[in-house]
Structure 1
Amino acid sequence: MTQTADRADWVAIVGPFRFPWGQASSRRVHGIACSLAAAGRHVVVACGEHGPGLTPLPEAVGPGSVSYLGMGEIPPVGAGKIDKAVRAWWSWGARTVRWLDSRPTRPSHVVLYNGDAPYAARLRSWCRRNAVPVIADVVDRYSPEQLRGGRFAPPYLSALLAFRYHYPRCAGVIAVSSYLSDHFRGYGLPVLRVPPTLDARGLAGLADRRPDEGDAVRLVYAGDPGRKDLVATIVRAVRQVNRAGYRVELRVVGPTVERVRELLGGEPVPAGVRVLGRLPQQEVWAEVREADFSVLLRPPTRFNRAGFPTKFGESLANGTPVIANLTSDLGEYLTDGVEGLVCPDHSVDGLVETLHRALRLSVEDRCLMRKAARRRALEAFDFRIHARALTDFLDSVRH
């Protein structure tokens, strides 16, 4: 069978991310690639890992295809500071460009995901020389406090240069949120807004568990909180509700016990909170499916307005309603009392108030919310829904 990258009509998605799993960026690219395959495009994802060679992605469905391979752009485990600095500031993107040069045919488009300024500069230069349109898939607008070292540190300056200089000079932008969509349309660029997507149709859907009246309300937080998610606020709200004599159980997936204690300022993890640490992706989704609600609290910062939480669509796709305050475009997909409950703000008191509302819901109310959550995911977050818009967008973008 002819390899995808030997065809005359293939699309390259490139960047120093892990693929097909490993981080939120992995899942973002996975969704975009599967959408394009569903519309008939042949996609090669050149990720940042060391190996493998060209490998088909079996989850891709439709007349197109997705294959992936590793470029080795990400420093290997145990790499020293000098090696990391050389890759980040000198050779970032060089391996990917050499691979593009080695292909017998040029891609119709290059979709650039992340990489910051050095990577973006090298890829834009290659695309300019080869008359290939480059499209930036933009999912963040970093604030200084989001990155180690702050405002004058190299990581922030690199991200800022990419955002302000390189992305506006691409042929087009795929934006994860309306905030980013509006921003890049201000440069006169063609822009398509696509939220984080996944194979919602292929997931198991609604859990068999049907709670009895009087059962504890089971919550789940799943993810890496970083500096975005207010896990300590969630834990403290659960503690406060349980101290008042109610029954709420929270399972925290991702952070370790030590990390949760650090977020709590050294306080012990309270009763009613189970910290499960890192789990394989399928086990994460099983925990989400078994919960009555997933919980997501974020402060209304610029960074959170620009991004869009991947875990939100994943929760709905697993049939689990969401308790969240409204940041980014969540208000378009979360109707209070339908797909979940809207928290009035990101405070402990605001979440306590919302948890009391959850406790008053009947079993039937919760079952209706589960069905509505699943339905919303199939309508908005399944990768097939965005397939035609993405391929039409590529057709409209020229060098």
Structure 2
Amino acid sequence: MPATPVTGRAWVALVGPFLFPWGQPGSRRVYGMARSLAAAGYDVVVASGEEGPSTPTRLDEVDGPGSVHYLGLGEIPSAQAGRLARSVQWFLRWGQRTVHWLDAQPTRPSHVLVAGGDAPYMVHLRRWCRRNAIPLVADVVDWYSPRQMRGGVLGPPHLSAKAALRYYYPRCDGIIAVSSFLERHYRNRGSRVLRVPPTLDVQNLPVHPRRDGTGAPELRLVYAGTPGRKDLIANIIRAVGRVHRAGAGIELRIYGPAPEQVRDLLDGEPTPPGVRVLGRLPQHEIPRALQEADFSVLLREPARFVQAGFPTKFCESLANSTPVIANLTSDLGGYLHHRSEGLVCDDHSVDGLTGTLREALRLSAAERKVMRELARRRALDSFDFRVYAQPLGAFLDDVRL
């Protein structure tokens, strides 16, 4: 395994089987934390189980004395691997390449930070950290529901995730929790916990002047992302269709899911007028799509797996100076205030969103402008990675063995 360049400062290994290369969807959480630690003076090496560069590649987008590098360790079996080979890798060898890479380093990291490590992966990683007296810190961002996992309640993915959440993570030396739900849970288990929401480079995200062409609708809405089992996109579409049929000039642009996926979410119903399903959008074009909308829209059921997470979509919208229309789940109530950073729905129902959309249509241009400014300010104050440099650095200092 390749050695990691170390400059003499303490370095942190940020590892996980499913970490994405920089710039891909799903990479924001990990690289937000990595850049916070670099701003605090750490050299961070992101070592993923995905295929990637075999030697560490430096990330230039870092603000601070530290650095961030990325490499792929290829823990994940290839698509051509047979079922037996995949099962052996999953149950017996999951995490072995990561600990072999750690063993190959000329100097040990000051900490190992694991993101998304399930039970088999945690077995190898925890054993290595205990043997080498290296603090192990888990970044926890979900509390998985059986309906989210292949095979349901008795499926291996759910059982593995459950074992990690309930057994392995509480035995780590520290927990970084994405929400107050997870913070309370692990603090009650006696863990040292720091809460860090999703973070972005808000400061360097440009906000462009909006392009208001002739014939633009009165209210422009956007949804960008993958609905999964959390976002109630069908309720959003039905509420927009209801308001549009009543004669309002409203348009919802949906980026991410394909038209056939949206039809499935609507149980075969046709997409109503006023809703445009535009499919996938390159990552670098998403900011512009958000900035051209009056509001982004997010509805979620207040189930436990929703309360435990924190929607990155929300942070991205505010960072792009686009207020959010949403019902309050997770910790959104601490960042979204009615007629400030957006509009708060009473609940996640079609009726609840319909009433809020009608209120949005009554807002003046001046009121919307103030809300855009407040949304951006909230993102700078609460979701920029620099805000968490000192807290994360202090937390790692506190969990040294």
Structure-2-length-normalised TM-score: 0.95
The answer on whether the counterparts of 2:183 and 2:193 sit within 8 Å (CA) in structure 1 is yes
Partner of 1:340: 342
Report the Cα offset of residue 274 of structure 1.
1.3
**Structure 1 counterpart of 2:324, from 297, 322, 325:** 322
Q: Which among 248, 251, 254 is matched to residue 250 of structure 2?
A: 248
| Structure 1 residue 47: Cα displacement | 1.2
Shifted more, 313-322 versus 272-281: the winner is 272-281
Q: Residue 138 of structure 1 corresponds to which residue in structure 2?
A: 140
How much has 1:6 moved relative to structure 2?
6.7
- Aligned equivalents of 1:207, 1:303: Cα separation in 2: 37
Per the TM alignment, residue 267 of structure 1 is displaced from its structure 2 partner at its CA by: 1.5
Distance 1:64 1:159 in 2: 32
Cα drift, residue 206 of structure 1? 5.2
Where in structure 1 are there 5+ consecutive unaligned residues?
Answer: none
Residue 268 of structure 1: how far off its partner (Å): 1.9
Q: Is contact 1:224-1:255 (8 Å) kept?
A: yes
**Alignment match, 1:383:** 385
**Distance in 2 of aligned mates of 1:184 and 1:213:** 52
Q: Residue type matched to 2:16 in 1?
A: G
Amino acid at match of 1:33: A
CA distance in 1, matches of 2:7, 2:122: 24
1:162-216 per-residue CA deviation (whole Å, 9 max, x = no partner) reads 0010000000000000000011111211110000001000101254346899843
Q: Could you give the per-residue CA deviations for residues 365-389 of structure 1, whole angstroms, max 9, x where no partner exists?
A: 1111100000000000000000000
Measured against aligned partners, the alpha-carbon deviations of 1:332-388 in whole angstroms (never above 9, x if no partner) come to 000100000001100000000000011001111111110000000000000000000
CA RMSD of aligned residues (A): 1.7
Residues 6 and 104 of structure 1 are in contact (CA less than 8 Å); yes or no, is this contact kept in structure 2?
no
The answer on whether the counterparts of 1:6 and 1:103 sit within 8 Å (CA) in structure 2 is no
- The structure 2 residue matched to 1:123, chosen from 118, 122, 125, is 125
d(CA) in 1 for partners of 2:362, 2:10: 56
CA separation of 1:95/1:7 partners in 2, compared to 1, >3 Å: closer, same or farther?
farther
Query: Relative to structure 1, is the Cα distance of residues 12 and 214 closer, same or farther in structure 2, using a 3 angstrom cutoff?
Result: closer
Q: Which amino acid aligns with 1:43?
A: V
Q: Does 2:38 correspond to 1:41?
A: no
Q: 1:85 Cα shift? A: 2.8
Question: Is 2:16 the counterpart of 1:10?
Answer: no
Deviation for aligned residue 1:121: 1.3
Equivalent residue for 1:190? 192
Pick the aligned partner of 1:159 from 155, 158, 161: 161
Question: 1:83 and 1:278 mapped to 2: Cα distance?
Answer: 33
Kindly indicate whether the alpha-carbon contact (under 8 Å) linking 2:197 and 2:310 is maintained by their aligned counterparts in 1.
yes
SS of structure 2 residue aligned to 1:361: coil
What residue in structure 1 maps to residue 78 of structure 2? Answer: 76
Partner of 2:116: 114
- Equivalent residue number for residue 309 of structure 2: 307
Q: Which amino acid aligns with 1:393?
A: F
1:20 aligns with 2:22: yes
Using the TM superposition, give the Cα deviation of residue 329 of structure 1 relative to its aligned residue in structure 2, in angstroms.
0.3
Equivalent position amino acid for 1:32 in 2: M
The one-letter code matched in structure 2 to 1:397 is V
Kindly report which structure 2 residues correspond to 1:287-302, keeping only aligned pairs within 5 A, or say none. 287-302=289-304
1:239-261 Cα distance to aligned partner (Å, 9 max, x none):
11101111111111111111111
Q: Are residues 103 and 339 of structure 1, via their aligned partners in 2, closer, same or farther at CA, if it must alter by over 3 Å?
A: same
Deviations 1:289-318 (A, max 9, x none): 111100010000000110000111110000
Distance 1:246 1:80, change over 3 A: farther
- Aligned residue among 347, 360, 363 for 1:361: 363
User: What SS is found at the alignment partner of 1:68?
Assistant: strand
1 CA distance for matches of 2:218 and 2:281?
Answer: 23
Distance in 1 of aligned mates of 2:287 and 2:208: 11
Hey, what does 1:236 align to over in structure 2?
A: 238
Residue identity matched to 2:227:
P
User: Counterparts of 1:3 and 1:103 in 2: how far apart (Å)?
Assistant: 6
- 1:76 & 1:359 partners in 2: Cα distance? 51
State the SS of the aligned residue for 1:151: helix
Q: Between Structure 1 and Structure 2, how many residues are aligned?
A: 397
Are the structure 2 counterparts of residues 3 and 112 from structure 1 closer, same or farther at C-alpha, using a change threshold of 3 Å? closer
* Distance change >3 Å, CA 83–CA 242, structure 1 → 2: farther
In 2, are the aligned partners of 1:50 and 1:76 still within 8 Å (CA)? no
Counterparts of 1:212 and 1:377, CA distance in 2: 31
Instruction: Note closer, same or farther for the CA distance 1:290–1:214 as it changes in structure 2 (3 Å cut).
Output: closer
With the length of structure 1 as denominator, give the TM-score of the two structures: 0.96
Q: Separation in 2 of the partners of 1:80 and 1:223?
A: 32
- Equivalent-residue separation in structure 2 for 1:278 and 1:87 (angstroms): 32
Tell me which moved more, 295-304 or 271-280. 271-280
One-letter amino acid of the counterpart of residue 13, structure 1? L
Q: Is the 8 A contact 1:138 1:175 kept in 2?
A: yes
- 5+ residue gaps in structure 2? none
Matched to 1:335, the amino acid is H
